Protein backbone atom coordinates (compact mmCIF):
# COMPACT_ATOMS: atom_id res chain seq x y z
CA UNK A 1 0.00 0.00 0.00
CA UNK A 2 1.33 3.47 -0.82
CA UNK A 3 1.80 5.98 1.97
CA UNK A 4 -1.20 7.98 0.79
CA UNK A 5 -3.47 4.92 0.64
CA UNK A 6 -2.29 3.83 4.08
CA UNK A 7 -2.98 7.26 5.59
CA UNK A 8 -6.45 7.45 4.02
CA UNK A 9 -7.16 3.92 5.29
CA UNK A 10 -6.09 5.00 8.78
CA UNK A 11 -8.39 8.03 8.63
CA UNK A 12 -11.33 5.83 7.66
CA UNK A 13 -10.47 3.24 10.30
CA UNK A 14 -10.13 5.92 12.99
CA UNK A 15 -13.74 7.06 12.53
CA UNK A 16 -15.04 3.51 12.10
CA UNK A 17 -13.43 2.43 15.36
CA UNK A 18 -14.06 5.80 17.09
CA UNK A 19 -10.35 6.16 17.78
CA UNK A 20 -9.82 9.92 18.24
CA UNK A 21 -6.08 9.52 18.90
CA UNK A 22 -5.57 7.75 15.57
CA UNK A 23 -7.80 10.33 13.82
CA UNK A 24 -5.64 13.20 15.07
CA UNK A 25 -2.39 11.40 14.25
CA UNK A 26 -3.52 10.35 10.77
CA UNK A 27 -4.90 13.83 10.01
CA UNK A 28 -1.57 15.46 10.93
CA UNK A 29 0.29 12.81 8.92
CA UNK A 30 -1.99 13.42 5.92
CA UNK A 31 -1.36 17.18 6.05
CA UNK A 32 2.40 16.59 6.32
CA UNK A 33 2.21 14.28 3.30
CA UNK A 34 0.50 17.04 1.30
CA UNK A 35 -2.85 15.26 0.97
CA UNK A 36 -5.59 17.80 0.25
CA UNK A 37 -8.24 18.62 2.83
CA UNK A 38 -10.94 17.54 0.40
CA UNK A 39 -9.30 14.10 0.05
CA UNK A 40 -8.74 13.81 3.81
CA UNK A 41 -12.45 14.40 4.37
CA UNK A 42 -13.96 12.82 1.26
CA UNK A 43 -11.72 9.75 0.86
CA UNK A 44 -10.77 9.20 4.51
CA UNK A 45 -12.86 10.47 7.42
CA UNK A 46 -16.12 10.71 5.44
CA UNK A 47 -15.84 7.09 4.28
CA UNK A 48 -15.56 6.01 7.92
CA UNK A 49 -18.70 7.98 8.77
CA UNK A 50 -20.57 6.31 5.90
CA UNK A 51 -19.68 2.90 7.34
CA UNK A 52 -20.88 4.06 10.78
CA UNK A 53 -24.17 5.24 9.23
CA UNK A 54 -24.69 1.88 7.49
CA UNK A 55 -23.88 -0.12 10.61
CA UNK A 56 -26.26 2.04 12.69
CA UNK A 57 -29.01 1.54 10.10
CA UNK A 58 -28.49 -2.24 10.32
CA UNK A 59 -28.59 -2.05 14.16
CA UNK A 60 -25.04 -3.48 14.35
CA UNK A 61 -24.04 -0.53 16.54
CA UNK A 62 -26.01 1.86 18.72
CA UNK A 63 -26.15 5.58 19.55
CA UNK A 64 -23.19 5.65 21.99
CA UNK A 65 -20.91 4.28 19.26
CA UNK A 66 -22.29 6.76 16.73
CA UNK A 67 -21.67 9.61 19.18
CA UNK A 68 -18.11 8.36 19.72
CA UNK A 69 -17.52 8.17 15.96
CA UNK A 70 -18.90 11.68 15.43
CA UNK A 71 -16.66 13.03 18.21
CA UNK A 72 -13.72 11.37 16.47
CA UNK A 73 -14.65 13.04 13.18
CA UNK A 74 -15.03 16.39 14.96
CA UNK A 75 -11.56 16.05 16.54
CA UNK A 76 -10.07 15.72 13.05
CA UNK A 77 -12.19 18.54 11.59
CA UNK A 78 -10.96 20.83 14.39
CA UNK A 79 -7.43 20.43 13.02
CA UNK A 80 -8.53 20.94 9.43
CA UNK A 81 -10.79 24.00 9.81
CA UNK A 82 -8.12 26.51 11.00
CA UNK A 83 -5.83 25.36 8.18
CA UNK A 84 -8.52 26.19 5.68
CA UNK A 85 -9.18 29.70 6.92
CA UNK A 86 -5.58 30.64 7.80
CA UNK A 87 -4.03 33.15 5.45
CA UNK A 88 -7.00 33.42 3.08
CA UNK A 89 -6.80 36.52 0.94
CA UNK A 90 -9.92 37.97 -0.59
CA UNK A 91 -12.80 35.68 0.21
CA UNK A 92 -15.52 34.74 -2.23
CA UNK A 93 -19.24 35.13 -1.47
CA UNK A 94 -20.67 34.70 2.03
CA UNK A 95 -22.54 31.48 2.76
CA UNK A 96 -24.55 30.83 5.93
CA UNK A 97 -24.55 27.10 6.70
CA UNK A 98 -26.73 25.60 9.40
CA UNK A 99 -28.61 22.49 10.45
CA UNK A 100 -32.30 23.28 10.64
CA UNK A 101 -34.42 23.80 13.75
CA UNK A 102 -35.17 20.62 15.71
CA UNK A 103 -32.20 18.78 14.20
CA UNK A 104 -28.84 18.30 15.91
CA UNK A 105 -27.07 16.29 13.18
CA UNK A 106 -24.16 18.47 12.18
CA UNK A 107 -21.38 16.26 10.87
CA UNK A 108 -22.45 16.55 7.22
CA UNK A 109 -22.98 20.29 7.62
CA UNK A 110 -19.52 20.61 9.18
CA UNK A 111 -18.01 18.77 6.23
CA UNK A 112 -19.77 21.17 3.84
CA UNK A 113 -18.47 24.12 5.90
CA UNK A 114 -14.92 22.76 5.69
CA UNK A 115 -15.12 22.19 1.93
CA UNK A 116 -16.55 25.64 1.22
CA UNK A 117 -14.00 27.35 3.44
CA UNK A 118 -11.30 25.41 1.65
CA UNK A 119 -12.64 26.72 -1.66
CA UNK A 120 -12.32 30.31 -0.36
CA UNK A 121 -15.90 31.16 0.59
CA UNK A 122 -16.64 33.25 3.65
CA UNK A 123 -18.67 30.67 5.55
CA UNK A 124 -20.65 31.56 8.65
CA UNK A 125 -21.33 28.36 10.58
CA UNK A 126 -24.68 28.87 12.29
CA UNK A 127 -24.42 25.52 14.10
CA UNK A 128 -27.44 23.28 14.54
CA UNK A 129 -31.08 23.81 15.55
CA UNK A 130 -31.23 26.96 13.40
CA UNK A 131 -34.66 28.49 12.78
CA UNK A 132 -35.59 30.20 9.49
CA UNK A 133 -35.55 33.55 11.34
CA UNK A 134 -32.02 32.84 12.66
CA UNK A 135 -30.90 32.16 9.08
CA UNK A 136 -32.43 35.46 7.92
CA UNK A 137 -30.89 37.45 10.79
CA UNK A 138 -27.41 36.05 10.08
CA UNK A 139 -27.85 36.59 6.35
CA UNK A 140 -28.66 40.26 6.88
CA UNK A 141 -25.87 40.74 9.42
CA UNK A 142 -23.22 39.20 7.16
CA UNK A 143 -24.50 40.21 3.73
CA UNK A 144 -24.91 36.60 2.63
CA UNK A 145 -25.43 35.41 -0.92
CA UNK A 146 -26.31 31.80 -0.12
CA UNK A 147 -28.15 30.06 2.72
CA UNK A 148 -27.38 26.35 3.11
CA UNK A 149 -29.80 24.31 5.19
CA UNK A 150 -28.97 20.79 6.27
CA UNK A 151 -31.66 18.37 7.51
CA UNK A 152 -31.04 14.75 8.47
CA UNK A 153 -34.52 13.71 9.53
CA UNK A 154 -37.72 13.37 7.56
CA UNK A 155 -39.40 15.36 10.33
CA UNK A 156 -37.07 18.36 9.95
CA UNK A 157 -37.09 18.53 6.13
CA UNK A 158 -40.17 20.72 6.53
CA UNK A 159 -38.00 23.50 8.02
CA UNK A 160 -36.08 23.72 4.72
CA UNK A 161 -39.42 24.49 3.08
CA UNK A 162 -40.19 27.13 5.73
CA UNK A 163 -36.81 28.74 5.09
CA UNK A 164 -37.42 29.01 1.35
CA UNK A 165 -40.86 30.49 2.04
CA UNK A 166 -39.43 32.97 4.56
CA UNK A 167 -36.88 34.21 2.02
CA UNK A 168 -39.62 34.64 -0.61
CA UNK A 169 -41.83 36.43 1.88
CA UNK A 170 -39.27 39.17 2.56
CA UNK A 171 -38.37 39.27 -1.17
CA UNK A 172 -34.67 38.85 -0.42
CA UNK A 173 -32.41 37.53 -3.13
CA UNK A 174 -30.56 35.00 -1.00
CA UNK A 175 -30.12 31.68 -2.80
CA UNK A 176 -31.33 28.74 -0.72
CA UNK A 177 -29.59 25.40 -1.07
CA UNK A 178 -30.61 22.24 0.75
CA UNK A 179 -29.00 18.92 1.59
CA UNK A 180 -28.75 16.04 4.05
CA UNK A 181 -29.44 12.32 3.67
CA UNK A 182 -33.28 12.41 3.40
CA UNK A 183 -33.20 15.34 0.99
CA UNK A 184 -33.43 14.81 -2.80
CA UNK A 185 -33.43 16.80 -6.04
CA UNK A 186 -37.20 16.36 -6.29
CA UNK A 187 -37.71 17.69 -2.74
CA UNK A 188 -35.50 20.69 -3.54
CA UNK A 189 -37.57 21.35 -6.65
CA UNK A 190 -40.88 20.86 -4.85
CA UNK A 191 -40.05 23.48 -2.20
CA UNK A 192 -38.57 25.93 -4.72
CA UNK A 193 -34.98 25.79 -3.39
CA UNK A 194 -32.25 27.13 -5.67
CA UNK A 195 -30.10 24.03 -5.43
CA UNK A 196 -29.32 20.66 -3.92
CA UNK A 197 -26.21 18.55 -3.76
CA UNK A 198 -25.83 15.01 -2.59
CA UNK A 199 -22.31 15.40 -1.23
CA UNK A 200 -19.96 18.03 0.12
CA UNK A 201 -17.76 17.52 -2.94
CA UNK A 202 -20.58 18.76 -5.18
CA UNK A 203 -21.50 21.70 -2.93
CA UNK A 204 -18.56 23.77 -4.18
CA UNK A 205 -19.70 23.57 -7.82
CA UNK A 206 -23.26 24.29 -6.73
CA UNK A 207 -22.33 27.44 -4.80
CA UNK A 208 -20.03 28.57 -7.59
CA UNK A 209 -22.84 28.23 -10.13
CA UNK A 210 -25.12 30.38 -7.96
CA UNK A 211 -22.62 33.10 -7.11
CA UNK A 212 -20.17 33.53 -9.98
Binding test (CB under 6 A) with ligand B12, winner from 80, 81, 152, 164:
152
Residue 202, CB-side half-sphere exposure with 13 Å CA sphere: 9
Residue whose CB is less far from ligand B12, 37 or 87: 37
The answer to whether residue 36 forms part of the interface with ligand B12 (CB under 6 A) is no
Q: CA quadruple 127, 132, 133, 135: dihedral positive or negative?
A: positive
Closest CA to 96 of 192, 172, 187: 172
Binding test (CB under 6 A) with ligand B12, winner from 4, 13, 31, 53:
53
Show the site string, 174-203: x = touches ligand B12 by CB under 6 A, - = not.
Answer: ---xxxxxx--------------x-xx--x
Residues in contact with 165: Cβ distance below 8 Å, sequence separation at least 6, in sequence order:
132
The answer to whether residue 210 forms part of the interface with ligand B12 (CB under 6 A) is no
At CA 204, angle to CA 139 and CA 185, rounded to 5? Answer: 85
The answer to whether residue 153 forms part of the interface with ligand B12 (CB under 6 A) is yes
Binding test (CB under 6 A) with ligand B12, winner from 18, 106, 144, 175:
106
DSSP string, 191-209: HT-SEE-SSHHHHHHHHHH
The answer to whether residue 103 forms part of the interface with ligand B12 (CB under 6 A) is yes
- Strand ranges for the chain from DSSP E: 94-100, 122-130, 146-150, 175-179, 195-196
Q: Which stretch binds ligand B12 (CB under 6 A): 25-33, 60-68, 75-83, 166-174?
A: 60-68
Q: Which stretch binds ligand B12 (CB under 6 A): 24-32, 85-93, 133-141, 151-159?
A: 151-159
Which residues sit opposite 125 in a β-bridge? 97
The span from the CA of 62 to the CA of 33, in Å, is 34
The answer to whether residue 107 forms part of the interface with ligand B12 (CB under 6 A) is yes
The answer to whether residue 98 forms part of the interface with ligand B12 (CB under 6 A) is no
Binding site for ligand B12 (CB under 6 A): 46, 49, 52-53, 56-57, 63, 66-67, 70, 102-109, 111-112, 148-150, 152-155, 177-182, 197, 199-200, 203
Amino acid sequence: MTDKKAILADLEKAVETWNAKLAVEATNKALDAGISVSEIIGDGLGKGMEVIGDRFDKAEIYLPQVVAASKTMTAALEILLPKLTAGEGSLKATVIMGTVEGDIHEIGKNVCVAMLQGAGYNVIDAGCDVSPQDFLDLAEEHGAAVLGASALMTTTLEIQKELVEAVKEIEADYKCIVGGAPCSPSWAEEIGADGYSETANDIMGLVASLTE
